[in-house]
Structure 1
Amino acid sequence: MTTPRKLRVGWHREHFLSPLLQFADKDKNETFELVECPGGTGEMQVKLKNGEIDLCIALTDALIAGLANGLESYKLVGRYIASPLRWAIITGKDSKYNTVDDLKGTTFGISRLGSGSQVMASVLSLQQGWTESEQPQFKVNGQFKPLRDSVNLGETSVFLWEWFTTKPYVDSGEVRFIGSVYTPWPCWHIAASPSAPASSVKTFLSSLEPYVQHFNSAEAREKEDVDFVTYYFGHQRDDVVEWLSTVKWEENIAQVKEDVVRETLRVLAKAGVVKPETEKLDITTFVNTDVATVV
């Protein structure tokens, strides 16, 4: 009997992935292996396309935008976070930029083309009502450290990154916050390559789900979650407590809500990230219905 191949699971070093890390610690690399992707969702999309990973937990908007723009190297197989993501607007410690209004027509740093950092820059522009001449330009910097360096060197005005991941660098004085923007959608979904066996993906999701449910519980949030995130990621306890008060995980992860996909497409189309006609694409363009239930 052939032993099933271990799934290669892409992840980014963010506290949202704590349940996955707890599952990995219990699994001991028997059924899946973690592949860290410091470049975030954009890097995961590249690795899926190159066949370097089978599955990832990544940003909703970037995943859906990629599918709407023709990527066929993955489809959604589940939902993960039910709440929006708070993106910080980050500039250099000594930069001339102090308000969002100062950013019109400037160059934003992004991790990769099509990444969440680019998508949310376009959403910010939409929300601010910037004209065509005021739209941001983009400079690809790759990972988190080059993005921070770029704003301090004056190569870019700002970049967008998750608030609590960036806060330690603000506390240390390396960079500054000048605002934030929230996603108009639940912020994380799960995607998998069509070549990954559906049975293996289903098993992975059903095995991950209890860890997600426990981490999401009121009991675990009291102390256990705070201890884990503080220890593993090195965040301040007060910051972890504040973050936990803002985030909610999905209880049934092997599902995808069609209205979330449609609403995300609608906003992305208004922001110019995808074409308006993509809103009418069949849901199977976005969801692997052999794995996930569309609700």
Structure 2
Amino acid sequence: MTNLKVGGVPEHFNYPWYLTLKNKEYTEHNINLRWQDYPGGTGQMCKALREGTVDIAIVLTEGIIKDISNGNPSKIVQTFVKSPLVWGIHVGAKSKFKTINDLEHATIAISRFGSGSHLMAIVNAHNQGWDVTKLKFKVIKNLEGGIEALTNGEADYFMWEHFTTKPLVDDGTFRRIDNCPTPWPCFVIAVRNEVLENNFDEVQKVLEIINAKTKNFKSIPDIDKTLAKRYKQKLEDIQKWLKITSWNSNKPITKNLITRIQNKMITFNVIEKKKNSSDFIKNMYL
């Protein structure tokens, strides 16, 4: 039995993993796959990949590209969710800020440096024409930390996935000022180089199983009701989310896509210089 650890955010995007694990689909192929929640998001998972405490991670594209660029010994093996991620831009319920323009000099809550909430704040600032070198950040670790920081005034705004934070908007904890979609496919699957060298076939089988599940995920009977209940969402919100979300099948991520994303990230001052795109990816489908 091969032991592998997989991790991701505890959000609706990763429910297909839960289903395959619940059905023991990996065990049938002599793979003992164990899931680990990472509420701190991509920054937390990049750290875990570096430390070897997770083998496979479902991470935000921008976060892992930045971290591999900075020496993370991992490779992107494929896109997981190919549609953009819609980031909500949130302030506290009693905040004085009313519009996106009010936020130019405000303090941004981020889970970690290098995380999606950090990098997308830079993307948003660039989109608004702000000076990204003057952005101010407050590290708050996770969504709970974001709630606390915005409520007690330690930070002014916080970017997190639109639908995950929708219940907090509905109950008056947050006000959403705007949205900012990622200018690239949002989630990829990254694997530590050591695991790819030693367990290539097993990783390939894991991808085959999860891709088969995501391919037909939307057609699972009452999947909208199941997700709404599990993630404490309104049914109409889950239905909207399902409509705009699409998973990858089994196509490898291309060097051209990595190059295009790197070019954008250089424009956004997220990475300093472009590297060879083959440094970032491992094609599992040769």
Normalized against structure 1, the TM-score is what? Answer: 0.90
| 2:255–2:277 Cα contact (<8 Å) kept | yes
RMSD: 1.6
State the partner residue of 1:22: 19
State the partner residue of 1:187: 186
5+ residue gaps in structure 2?
Answer: none
Query: Shift in Å at residue 150 of structure 1?
Result: 0.3
Q: Does 1:268 align with 2:262?
A: no
State the partner residue of 1:47: 48
Q: Deviations over 1:263-289 (max 9, x none)?
A: 1111111111101x31xx222210124
SS at match of 2:189: strand
- Counterparts of 1:68-217 in structure 2, within 5 Å, are 68=69, 70-131=70-131, 135-196=134-195, 197-216=199-218
Q: How many Å separate the matches in 1 of 2:38 and 2:103?
A: 29
Q: How many Å separate the matches in 2 of 1:72 and 1:241?
A: 36
Q: How many Å separate the matches in 2 of 1:145 and 1:232?
A: 18
Query: Shift in Å at residue 257 of structure 1?
Result: 2.1
Which letter maps to 2:222? E
| 2:26–2:206 Cα contact (<8 Å) kept | no
State the partner residue of 1:63: 64
State the partner residue of 2:4: 7
| 1:42–1:114 Cα contact (<8 Å) kept | yes
Distance 1:258 1:224, change over 3 A: farther
Which letter maps to 1:56? A
Q: Deviations over 1:37-96 (max 9, x none)?
A: 11011111111111110001111111111112x223311011111111100001111011
Q: How many Å separate the matches in 2 of 1:137 and 1:27?
A: 46
Q: How many Å separate the matches in 1 of 2:132 and 2:185?
A: 28
Normalized against structure 2, the TM-score is what? Answer: 0.93
| 1:39–1:142 Cα contact (<8 Å) kept | yes
Distance 1:29 1:147, change over 3 A: farther
Q: How many Å separate the matches in 2 of 1:28 and 1:200?
A: 13
SS at match of 2:248: coil
State the partner residue of 2:235: 237
Which letter maps to 2:159? L
| 1:170–1:177 Cα contact (<8 Å) kept | yes
Distance 1:184 1:174, change over 3 A: same
Q: Deviations over 1:120-178 (max 9, x none)?
A: 00000111111367x32111110110111101111111010000000001111111111
Query: Shift in Å at residue 29 of structure 1?
Result: 7.5
Query: Shift in Å at residue 103 of structure 1?
Result: 0.9
| 2:120–2:182 Cα contact (<8 Å) kept | yes
